[in-house]
Amino acid sequence: MVVGQEQVVETMLITLLARGHALLVGVPGLAKTLLVSSVAQALSLSFGRVQFTPDLLPADITGTDVLNEVEDKGLVRREVRFMPGPIFKHLVLADEINRTPPKTQAALLQAMQERHVTVGGATHPLPDPFQVFATQNPIEQEGTYPLPEAQLDRFLLEVHVDYPSEQEEREIARRTTSGAMPQIEAVLSADEIRALGALVPRIPVTDEAVELAVRLARATRPDGPDAPEAVRTYVRFGAGPRGSQALVLAAKARAALRGEAAADVDDVLALTLPALRHRMVLSYRADADRVRDADVLAAVKKQLGV
C-alpha cells in the first residue's frame, strides 16, 4: 500500500506534531527533498540537509572541536571551540541515508533518541524542536548499507511516496518549467510548533484505540498467540513496545490535525502501516516469495477482524 500525495503531506504533519522522525521511501525525482524544505519554510523552522555518501564521517554530521587562536590584550591564546554540524537545525533532511556505512549512520542514533550529541566528551543540546526526515531509494541496492533495526525503530513513521497521478504530473510539468519560482509563506512560528508538540501527548485516546494498538503490535510477533500464519511464516522479529507507543502517539497527532476531540480506533487503523512496517524484520522466505510488509500487516488486520 502506498499513500497518495495528500496523505504523504498529512503523514509528515502528523510526524511533526508528534515530535517524531520520519523515513520517506521513494524513487528519485519525486521531490522528497523539496517537500521537506518547503514544510520547514511554511512552519518557520530552520532547515539542514545532509547528503549521505560512503565517505561521510560522523563529524560531518554532528560537528567537531576546532582549535582557534584568540587575541586578548596583545596576547594570543589558543582555545578549543565546538563547530556545530548541519544536524543543529530544527528540521534535518538525511538524504539517501542508506548510502553511508553503519558507523556514520550511528551518529544519528543519539541525536534522534536523546536530542543532543556528544563530541569530545562534551554534550551539546540540539534545537527545539529537532526532527529528522530521512529519504531512502527502494530500488538501488548497489553501494548501499541496510539501516540497522535499532535505527529504523527510532523513526515514528515510514512513508512511501508514489508517482504522482497523470493530472498532477501535467501540473508539475507546467509549473516547474514556467520560470516563476513559487513563494512559500510561513503559516506558523517555531514557538507555535513547540506548543502543538506539547499539546499532542495530552490529547485523550479511547481505551479501545490503545487496546487495538497493542494487539496490532503484538500480532506482528511470530510467537504471539494472535499472530496469523503469514507472520509465523515470513516474519523473523515483530514490532516491539515502541511500535504500540508510536501507533498511539501518531493517532493522537492525527486526531489533533483533524480537529477531533480524542484519538479513536479509526486513527490507529489509518496509521498501522506507516507505524509498524519498518519495525518488522522479514525472513529470506518473504523475499523469495515476494511477500511485502504491507501484505503481512493486511493479514494481521484480517486476523484481528479489523
Cβ atoms 152, 278 nearer than 8 A: yes
Could you tell me where the DSSP H helices lie in 177-304? 190-199, 207-218, 229-234, 241-257, 265-270, 272-276, 284-288, 293-304
Say what the pLDDT of residue 109 is.
Answer: 83
* Strand ranges across the sheet with 91-95: 47-51, 91-95, 131-136, 22-25, 157-160
Query: At 19, is the secondary structure helix, strand, or coil?
Result: coil
Cell numbers of 43, please?
Answer: 512552519
Instruction: Write down the domain spans for the chain.
Output: 1-198, 203-306
The pTM for the full model equals: 0.87
What are the backbone angles phi and psi of residue 97, rounded to the nearest 5°?
-65, -25
**Span 1-198 CATH architecture:** 3-Layer(aba) Sandwich (3.40)
What are the backbone angles phi and psi of residue 236, rounded to the nearest 5°?
-85, -45
Strand partners, 116: 125
Q: How far apart are CA 166 and CA 147, in angstroms?
A: 33
Query: At 95, is the secondary structure helix, strand, or coil?
Result: strand
pLDDT in tens, 74-108: 777 777 888 888 999 999 999 888 888 888 888 88
Per-residue pLDDT of the chain (306 residues; tens, 9 = 90+): 344 577 888 999 999 999 999 999 988 888 888 888 888 999 989 999 998 888 888 888 988 888 877 777 777 777 788 888 899 999 999 988 888 888 888 888 888 888 888 887 788 899 989 999 999 887 666 667 888 888 888 999 999 988 888 888 898 888 888 877 778 888 888 899 999 999 999 999 999 999 999 999 999 999 988 899 999 999 999 999 999 999 999 999 999 999 999 999 999 999 999 999 999 999 999 989 999 999 999 999 999 988
Cell numbers of 101, please?
Answer: 556505512
* CATH pick for 203-306 out of 1.10.10.10, 1.10.8.80, 1.10.1040.10, 3.40.250.10: 1.10.8.80
Q: Where are the beta strands (DSSP E) in the chain?
A: 22-25, 47-51, 63-72, 75-84, 91-95, 116-119, 122-125, 131-136, 157-160, 235-237, 281-282
Say what the pLDDT of residue 1 is.
Answer: 37
Q: How far apart are CA 169 and CA 82, in angstroms?
A: 45
Which residues have CB under 8 Å from 21's CB, separation 6+? 15, 112, 131, 132, 133, 134, 154, 155, 156
Say what the pLDDT of residue 293 is.
Answer: 93
Chain length of the chain: 306
End-to-end CA distance of the chain: 16
Say what the pLDDT of residue 143 is.
Answer: 64
Say what the pLDDT of residue 267 is.
Answer: 96
Q: How far apart are CA 119 and CA 133, in angstroms?
A: 22
